[in-house]
């Protein structure tokens, strides 16, 4: 793809977001961040429990007080955050779409802007899940399993 085309499309989507009314902007950020942190914490918690079930012989992943965090802790946390950021796109868009005034405003702003419609953003969200979210979850599961120890 042409770099200039990507920059133009990104600038158009940014301009459309800036044209939203203040209440819509104020609703979008907490919705997305709530899903990001919720899914991230859920995947991190799940990875920790998988670790205790599969490998009860290993030391706890949480470092003792006053000690630096372990590689497993950092890698599991970062991969959970990466998965949460990607997995949050689709449910956050769906929640915002369920609010009729928000849906109407987003549809009006998306006219004529490539990649800004609800269907297109959901397609892009599924691609993010496919190429980043699932690999991040697999990394978190692999680290929780810790076959090298």
Q: Is the pLDDT of residue 141 over 80?
A: yes
Closest CA to 84 of 133, 135, 31: 133
Q: What is the mean pLDDT of the chain?
A: 86
Give the model's pLDDT for residue 146: 75
Q: What is the pLDDT averaged over residues 18-47?
A: 91
- In angstroms, the CA 69 to CA 48 distance is 14
Residue 129 located in a structural domain = yes
Amino acid 92: pLDDT: 94
Give the percent of the chain with pLDDT over 90. Answer: 42
Whether 24 maps to a domain, the answer reads no
- Within a domain: 8: no
Does 67 fall in a domain?
no
Q: Is residue 149's pLDDT more than 60?
A: no
Which region, left, alpha or beta, applies to residue 115 given φ > 0 means left and ψ of -120 to 50 means alpha? left
- Separation CA 132–CA 124 (nearest Å): 12
Burial class (CB in 10 A: 0-12, 13-18, 19+), 88: buried
φ, ψ at 76 (rounded to 5°): -65, -40
Per-residue pLDDT at 57 exceeds 80: no
| Reported pTM | 0.80
- What mean pLDDT do residues 69-80 have? 85
Q: Using the predicted structure, report yes or no on whether residue 33 has a pLDDT greater than 90.
A: yes
- Start-to-end CA distance of the chain, whole Å, equals 43
Domain containing 47: what range? 29-53+72-149
Residue 1 inside a domain? The answer is no
Let me know if residue 48 belongs to a domain: yes
Q: Is 79 helix (H, G, I), strand (E, B) or coil?
A: helix
Residue 52, Cβ neighbours under 10 Å: how many? 12
Query: Is 12 a member of any domain?
Result: no
What are the CA-CA distances from residue 23 to residues 7, 101, 144 (Å)?
27, 11, 41
Task: Quote the tokens at residue 22.
Answer: 């203040």
Instruction: Assess if residue 101 is contained within a domain.
Output: yes
Total domains in the fold of the chain: 1
């Amino acid at each position: 793809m042409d770099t200039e085309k990507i920059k133009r499309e990104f600038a158009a989507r940014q301009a459309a977001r800036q044209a939203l009314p203040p209440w819509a902007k104020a609703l979008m950020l907490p919705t997305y961040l709530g899903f990001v942190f919720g899914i991230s914490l859920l995947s991190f918690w799940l990875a920790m429990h998988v670790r205790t079930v599969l490998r009860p012989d290993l030391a706890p992943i949480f470092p003792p007080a006053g000690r630096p965090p372990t590689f497993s802790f950092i890698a599991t946390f970062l991969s959970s955050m990466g998965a949460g950021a990607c997995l949050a796109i689709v449910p956050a868009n769906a929640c915002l779409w369920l609010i009729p005034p928000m849906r109407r405003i987003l549809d009006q702003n998306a006219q004529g802007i490539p990649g800004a419609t609800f269907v297109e953003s959901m397609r892009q969200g599924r691609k993010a899940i496919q190429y980043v979210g699932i690999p991040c979850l697999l990394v978190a599961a692999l680290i929780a399993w810790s076959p090298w120890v």
